[in-house]
Chains A and B, each alone.
Chain A
Amino acid sequence: MAEDALWARDVQKRYERRGTQPVDALRGVSLSIRPGERVGLLGRNGAGKTTFLRIASTLLWPTSGEVRVFGHDIVNHPEEGRPLIAVVPQDGKPFMHLTPYEQVYTYLRTRGFDRATSKQRTTEVLGQMGLTEVADRLNLALSGGLRQRVMVATVIATEAPLLFLDEPTIGMDPFARREVWECLRRLSKKGSTLLLTTHYLDEAEQLSDRLYIIDRGRVLVEGSPEGLKAQIGGTIRVSLKGGMRLKETLATFGTVATDGLDVHVILGPDRVEEVLQLALREKLSATVGPVSLEEAFLRVVGRSIDDES
């Protein structure tokens, strides 16, 4: 616990506003992240990801629970943890009257870096994030995706020991996203710890050593991307076009999901042959592939929705 970069126990958050129903956004979230780890927080819209991130980054008071950043109790003594963290807020926008260069540079200066370090880091990060060309244009004139890149660059440049990123690549094109991933990996090699939320499951898989899936304010499962995929009963998916009528039979091979008239079977590698033989006999076209994180996510969260209703 003392050596964790982030450690949270039973964090609860109830939003109460006069004239509205209280919302229980977090109902006891516990997690721990070791220094240097990259951890992804997944969940549907409104699951409580932003709420947790804002609490952990000292932006929001929890209703109850404990949160420690490198051993510092940041619920009661946020100022001890703040020098160690930096955050990319959800929907954040840069200073519109500054250029990307000035944005990153002034932020580093306000964090107390000296002029030389600030200059050097700013140039370096803008280069890595593909922003050199627009470095001297006004943020106001940049597209939404570029503005978001400026926000991420601002925060990455701090090289803070613990970074929080709330949907950092939202609105970016696939190339830009890969540049951000590259930067984040480089940062994590230098020793920074990352906690990010995202709706792109490929991104979560690319960037995270470990994932937490949360739903309605609770952690559903936790594990590596591979581990999560394994949890749903197999690593391979066979999809049979129009296989609806064989649903019962297919269910004996593994977990079955339907999608219109198509059927997907999720199973281990050893029985794939048999399913394919069956498809051939029944003259159905079949495709085989590895289970994706998206499927695991849909399954895990879907199961919890079924449980509740």
Chain B
Amino acid sequence: MAMAYERPPQVGRILPGFAIIGWRWISRHPAMVIGPVLVPFIFLYFLRLISPPQDFPLQVIGAMLFTTQNIGSWVLGDSATYRLEAYLEELFIASPVTRLQYMIGLSLSNLIAAVPALVVLAIVLALVTPVPWYAWPVLIAVILLLWVLVSAIGMAVSTRIRSRRVVWPVGSLVFTVLGMLSPLYYPLSVLPPAWQTVTRFFPATYAALLVQGTVGVPGTVSSNLWVDAGLLGLFTTVGTAVALSFYQWRDR
């Protein structure tokens, strides 16, 4: 009897289930899409008023990366709710689904909510500045890397949360810090040199530099894009590994 179950009895693809969970969430709560589409534009308008106009293309790219970062806080919220309130996470722990698959599943279901905003912003970007063809694949790759990293951070932070009450303050703190203090919305060059060094520890910095450099928007610091790409990859790998090692998949 026992032998019959030596291998997992079911093998197949896990993501379609999570994709449905994500799709249903936005199809039943349209504000889930309207919010992410609207908010970057509100923010871009604000930026346009208070900062030099030539920074605008850079800020559109910033808005795309910032929207991607926000997926992290949504993942954090979902993960905390499913664990603390619904005990749904237990259904997935006690199953063939691994920690990594669960994380990818939740982040996939949240990526779906961000896609409309990303598409609209991409169109705006193409309208405000000439984008070379090879910049698009780079942009997509950077967004995907950032998505993996912030999802992992969101999952890891959610593990440490014991009450749903703190999901919002903690989530917005983590992702506001990551978003505002990395040069997403302003050229790195406006920062004092010491501070520029500090931002080198934020992964979104490399994402921003890489995309800004590839698209060739005004105001970018000339630097070696290959180094930026390498560091972004390194940050994502190490960051995801560290975050996952924090993510508790069984209570203590």
Check A-B contact in the complex, CB < 8 A. yes
Asked if A2 is at the interface (CB within 8 A of a chain B CB), the reply is yes
CB contact between B250 and one of A60, A85, A94 (< 8 Å): that residue: A60
- What separation, in Å, do the CA atoms of A147 and B20 have in the docked complex? 20
Query: Binary interface profile of B, 104-127, with partner A (CB < 8 Å = 1, else 0)?
Result: 010000000000000000000000
Task: Count residues on chain A whose CB falls below 8 Å from chain B CBs.
Answer: 52
- Contact check, A155 vs B24: say whether CB atoms are below 8 A apart: no
Do B87 and A83 have beta carbons less than 8 Å apart?
A: no
Bound together, the chains give a CA A16 to CA B85 distance in angstroms of 22
Please give me the residue from chain B that is nearest to A163 by CB atom.
B94
Are B251 and A54 in contact, CB atoms less than 8 angstroms apart? Answer: yes
Asked whether any CB of chain B lies closer than 8 Å to the CB of A58, the reply is yes
Q: Which residues of A contact B20 (CB under 8 A)?
A: 102, 105-106, 109
Per-residue 0/1 for A231-248: is the Cβ within 8 Å of any B Cβ (1 yes, 0 no)? 000000000000000000
- Asked if B96 CB lies within 8 Å of chain A CBs, one says yes
Q: Judging by beta carbons under 8 Å apart, are B94 and A58 in contact?
A: yes
Return the chain A residue nearest B29 by Cβ: A97
Bound CA span A10–B2, Å = 22
With A82-B95, A95-B88 as known contacts, state yes or no: A110 contacts B251, CB within 8 Å: no
Contact partners of B87 in chain A: CB under 8 A = 89-93
Decide yes or no: A86 and B94 within 8 Å by CB, A54-B251, A112-B10, A161-B9 being known contacts: yes
The interface residues of chain B lying within 8 Å CB-to-CB of A93 are 85-88
Q: Are A59 and B11 in contact (CB under 8 A)?
A: no
The yes or no answer to B51 lying at the interface (CB within 8 A) is no
In the bound complex, residues from chain B placing their C-beta under 8 Å from that of A87 are: 90-91, 94
- The answer to whether B250 touches A59 (Cβ under 8 A) is yes
Q: Is the CB of B252 within 8 A of A83?
A: no
User: B96 contacts which chain A residues (CB < 8 A)?
Assistant: 82-83, 111-112
**Which residues, 102 to 124 on A, are CB-close (under 8 Å) to B?**
102, 105-115
Q: Is the CB of A95 within 8 A of B250?
A: no
Give the shortest distance, in Å, between B97 (CB) and chain A (any CB): 6
Say whether A97 contacts B28, CB under 8 Å. yes
Among candidates B5, B7, B10, B29, residue contacting A111 with C-beta atoms closer than 8 Å: B10
B14 engages A110 (CB within 8 Å): yes
Contacting A at CB under 8 A, from B16-45, are: 16-18, 20-21, 24-25, 28-29
Bound together, the chains give a CA A97 to CA B250 distance in angstroms of 26
In the bound complex, CA of A92 to CA of B96 (Å):
19
The residue from B11, B18, B93 contacting A106, defined by CB atoms under 8 A apart? B18
Q: Is B189 an interface residue (CB 8 A)?
A: no
Q: Which residues of B are found within 8 Å of A106, using beta-carbon distances?
A: 17-18, 20-21
Q: Nearest Cβ in chain B — how far from A141, in angstroms?
A: 12
- The reply to whether B250 and A35 form a contact with Cβ atoms under 8 Å apart is no
- B177 within 8 Å of A (CB atoms): no
Interface contact B10-A102, CB-CB below 8 Å: no
Partner of B21, one of A84, A95, A138, A160: A95
Q: Which residues of A in the span 97-156 have a Cβ within 8 Å of any Cβ on B?
A: 97-98, 102, 105-115, 138, 154-155
Could you tell me the distance in whole angstroms from the C-beta of B202 to the nearest C-beta in chain A? 32
B1 at the interface (CB under 8 A from A): yes
B92 partner residues in chain A, CB cutoff 8 A: 110
Central interface residue in B93, B97, B98, by most chain A CB within 10 Å = B93
Closest partner residue, chain B, to A78 (CB atom): B250
> For B94, B97, B250, which residue has the most chain A Cβ atoms within 10 angstroms?
B94
Cβ–Cβ < 8 Å partners of B21 in chain A = 95, 98, 102, 106
Are A86 and B95 closer than 8 Å at their CB atoms? yes
Would A60 and B251 be within 8 Å (CB), given that A35-B2, A161-B5 are in contact?
A: yes
- Told that A82-B97, A93-B85, A112-B14 touch, could you supply 11 new A-B pairs with CB distance under 8 A? A3-B2, A54-B251, A57-B93, A59-B250, A61-B250, A84-B9, A91-B87, A98-B24, A102-B21, A110-B92, A161-B9
Q: Which residues of A contact B (CB under 8 A)?
A: 2-5, 35-36, 54, 57-61, 70-71, 78-79, 82-87, 89-98, 102, 105-115, 138, 154-155, 158, 160-161, 164, 191
Residue contacts A-B, CB under 8 angstroms, 22 given: A3-B1, A35-B2, A57-B90, A58-B93, A59-B251, A82-B94, A83-B7, A86-B95, A87-B91, A89-B91, A91-B87, A94-B86, A102-B20, A102-B21, A107-B17, A109-B17, A110-B95, A110-B101, A110-B105, A111-B97, A113-B12, A155-B91
Question: Which 3 pairs from chain A and chain B are nearest by CB?
Answer: A109-B17, A83-B8, A110-B17
